[in-house]
Structure 1
Amino acid sequence: MSETNTPAADVSAPSTPSPSPRTGGATLSQAVVAVVGLIALLALGLAWQSQQRLKQAEQELVRRQDSSQSDANIARDQSRQAQELARDTAAKVALLDAKLAEVGLQREQLETLIQSMTRSRDENVVGDIEASLRVAMQQSAITGSAEPLVSALRQADDRLARYHQPRLEGVRRAVVRDLDRIKAVSVVDVSTLTIKLDEVARQVDELPLLAVSQPGNDPARTAAGGRPARSATPAAAAAPSAPLDPNAGWWERVLHGAGDKWDQLSSDVWREARGLLRVTRIDHPEAALMAPEQMFFLRENLKLRLLNARLALLSRQFDTAQSDLTEAQGMLDRYFDDRSRKLGVTKELLRQVQGQARQVQVPRPDDTLAALSAVAR
């Protein structure tokens, strides 16, 4: 169509005709077509460019999707490997925990065993000391002597000193305190008292009674020789014989010798006469009027009193012993001659026994027992 219109344009060009409205409309339409074509070309170019970009985007998306899929696969594989590794690690950790728990249990058992061995040794020492102290307390209660308890405390002190356990130092200090406290208490020596009572019972048969005349009780006896002192007659005492003159004759000598013999004879007669008659103060008339068979039973009753007192001392019944000793002392004062030296010695022995036969409570080792109980907990 452009080719048909070109010769006409070329033919009419030299004439330069005036533009007509139809020619203006064609030019305008050509311009519009050209613009539309240009726009179409631009749109086509833009569409093609967009298509290329879309293809590139699709390719990039596909590439990235493939990369993401491969990464996901790799991540899945790694996750599976991590899970397997985690399971293996968890199994190993559980095994290690079990072994650690077993080692801990073995350590606890070992520590418990060591502690039990140490504690059992300490408990054995504590149990032995406590048992020995309780046995010693029973022996002291039976015998009334502190020696068993003192001996047990000394043995405990020596054993703790050899053992040298710091855990038992408090027990040792308590043992020393109780030992000092018990040793400071004076207790009754029952064995010595029984020996004295046996000696008194042995002397009962030799003691003089008031109902029997005892020449040895004569106050006229001298303290040195024990023989009766010579008593001169009143006449001889008034007029002692003069010494003989060496120049006197035989008659005077005979008279002087007869006088000496007479004086001796009269003194002997006087001494015998004084022995026939004796004046004595008797506070208990019934003691002087006892029959011989009553004297025998009196001595036996006194021996029984002393024997009862001895048994009471051995059984730690001091009140009963004091009662029997008081009765025995009263029998000695009432029925026996108090001028006899043997009676004085016997009474002195009884007074000593009465003064020492007193109930003395042996202290308990409370500090040691409390310390042993605290250690045993």
Structure 2
Amino acid sequence: MVVALVALAAAGGVWLYQQQAMETLRLQVSRELAQGQQQLRGAQEREAQAQLRGQALERELALVSARQNETQSQQAALSSMYEALTRNETQRVLAETEQTLAFASQQLQLAGNVDAALVGLNAIDQKLAALNRPELITLRKSIGHDIDQLKTQPYLDVVGIATRLDTLVAGVDKLPLAIDGYRDPKAKAGAPAPTNALQRFGGELWHEFRQLIQIRRIDKPDAMLLTPNEAFFLRENIKLRLLDARTALLMRNEAAFRSDLKAAGDYLKQYFDSSAPAVRNALASLDTLSRESLALKLPDLSASLSAVRQGRLATERAKP
């Protein structure tokens, strides 16, 4: 009993000690939690202040950027005004003249468009006349010489020739082939109509018998062997030849132009019905077009371009 009481007392003492330790630990944890919450609130306050400072910095940065953009815009406007005020009118006219001359030279060399080149040169001459500067006399003489040369050039109706080629292309599908007359022979007119059933039967029998063997004179054996598919591709080949001729016309390639027209005419003569009016008209048009001369020697504008460039260099050197 004594030992039991001593053990019970010892257990009670241990329990009391543990309770005190737990209470002490609880108090310590509570103090640490309170301190941590206080630190957390301090950190949140500091973070809020930092966010406010960041927003203020962003507003200041946006204001600085806006002022910088405004300053750049003002600087660009001032630069543009300064350039506009300091630009010499003669230099501006010479720059426009050089661009127009380059365009007119391209029209002459690439497309042979004499009318466009004349329009450009006349516009340049009017501008130079309105400017009335003595240093531009040489340039005006050179441009006047080029205008006189272009006015004496022979005229080539490119648009008219191209239109006639387009008309031929559109009419190829309607041209009759040489074999069409043999596929659909016309009935002979003036034959007496049968009067009774026996004569009708005899006439039909004789007609069918005659269809078994037919003897015809064929002057174009190759044309008689054309199938419908081959006839379609033949017409398409003629169209391609005529379109190639139009391309050669725009490029001033006289050899290719004549070659394509000759090939189209050979196809018409070989495979189409030459007795048909439409075919005869097409052949006549091809013959007329093949006699057109495309090899026109057009003058270049190198002298005027050289004169305007020298004028620009002289004006830039004379600028203070």
Identity %: 29
2:178 counterpart of 1:207? no
Q: 1:278 to 1:197 in 2, by over 3 A?
A: farther
How far, CA to CA, are the matches of 2:155 and 2:297 in structure 1? 8
Partner of 2:28: none
Q: Is residue 267 of structure 2 the alignment partner of residue 299 of structure 1?
A: no
Q: How does 1:234-249 map to 2 (within 5 A)?
A: none
Query: Does 200-209 or 189-198 show the bigger shift?
Result: 189-198
Cα distance in structure 2, aligned partners of 1:181 and 1:217: 61
Query: Where in structure 2 are the equivalents of 1:126-137 lying within 5 Å?
Result: 126-137=94-105
Aligned equivalents of 2:250 and 2:184: distance in 1? 37
Q: Which amino acid aligns with 1:172?
A: R
Matched with 1:239 is none
**Residues 216 and 163 (structure 1), Cα distance of their counterparts in 2 relative to 1, 3 Å cut:** farther
Q: Residues 182 and 363 of structure 1 are in contact (CA less than 8 Å); yes or no, is this contact kept in structure 2?
A: yes
Matches within 5 A, 1:38-187: 120-186=88-154
Residue 67 (structure 1) aligns with: none
Indicate whether 1:356 and 2:319 are aligned. no
> Structure 1 residues 169, 142: CA separation in 2 closer, same or farther (over 3 Å shift)?
same
SS in 2 for 1:208: coil
User: How many angstroms apart in 2 are the aligned matches of 1:337 and 1:214?
Assistant: 11
**Residue number among 292, 304, 311 corresponding to 2:247 in the alignment:** 311
Deviations along 1:196-236, one digit per CA (max 9) or x if unpaired, are 11111111111121112189999xxxxxxxxx9x99xxxxx
Deviations 1:142-195 (A, max 9, x none): 322112211110101111221122332232222222111012112543332221
Structure 1 residues 267-286: aligned runs within 5 Å: 282=219, 284-286=220-222
In structure 2, the residue matched to 1:336 is: 272
**Unaligned ranges ≥5, structure 2:** 1-84, 191-206, 315-320
Aligned to 1:375, which of 283, 293, 311?
A: 311
Distance in 2, matches of 1:174 and 1:315, equals: 28
In structure 2, give the amino acid aligned to 1:310: R
Q: Rate the CA distance shift 1:278–1:361 in 2: closer, same or farther, 3 A.
A: farther
Q: Secondary structure at the match of 1:213?
A: helix
C-alpha RMSD over aligned residues: 3.5
Question: Which residue is 2:81 aligned to?
Answer: none
Structure 1 position 133, deviation (Å): 0.4
CA distance in 2, matches of 1:289, 1:281: 11
TM-score, normalised by the number of residues in structure 1: 0.48
**How far apart in 2 are the matches of 1:121 and 1:296?**
64
User: How many residue pairs were aligned?
Assistant: 209
Indicate if the aligned counterparts of 1:145 and 1:188 stay in contact, CA closer than 8 A.
Answer: no
Cα distance in 1 for partners of 2:169, 2:234 equals: 13
Q: Distance in 2 between matches of 1:214 and 1:187?
A: 46
Query: Which one has the largest radius of gyration?
Result: 1
SS of equivalent to 1:356: coil
Q: Is the contact made by 1:174 and 1:367 (CA closer than 8 Å) also made in structure 2?
A: yes
CA, structure 1 residues 368+174, in 2 after alignment: closer, same or farther (shift >3 Å)?
Answer: same
Unaligned runs of 5+ in 1: 1-115, 219-227, 232-272
Residue type of the alignment partner of 2:273: D
SS at match of 2:163: helix
Question: Could you say what secondary structure the match of 2:177 adopts?
Answer: coil
What is the one-letter code of the residue matched to 1:307?
L
**Letter matched to residue 171 of structure 1:** L
CA distance in structure 2 between the partners assigned to 1:305 and 1:336 by the alignment: 16
Distance 1:278 1:133, change over 3 A: farther
Q: Secondary structure at the match of 2:298?
A: coil
Q: Is the deviation greater in 202-211 or in 360-369?
A: 360-369
Partner of 2:159: 191
Distance 1:280 1:167 in 2: 81
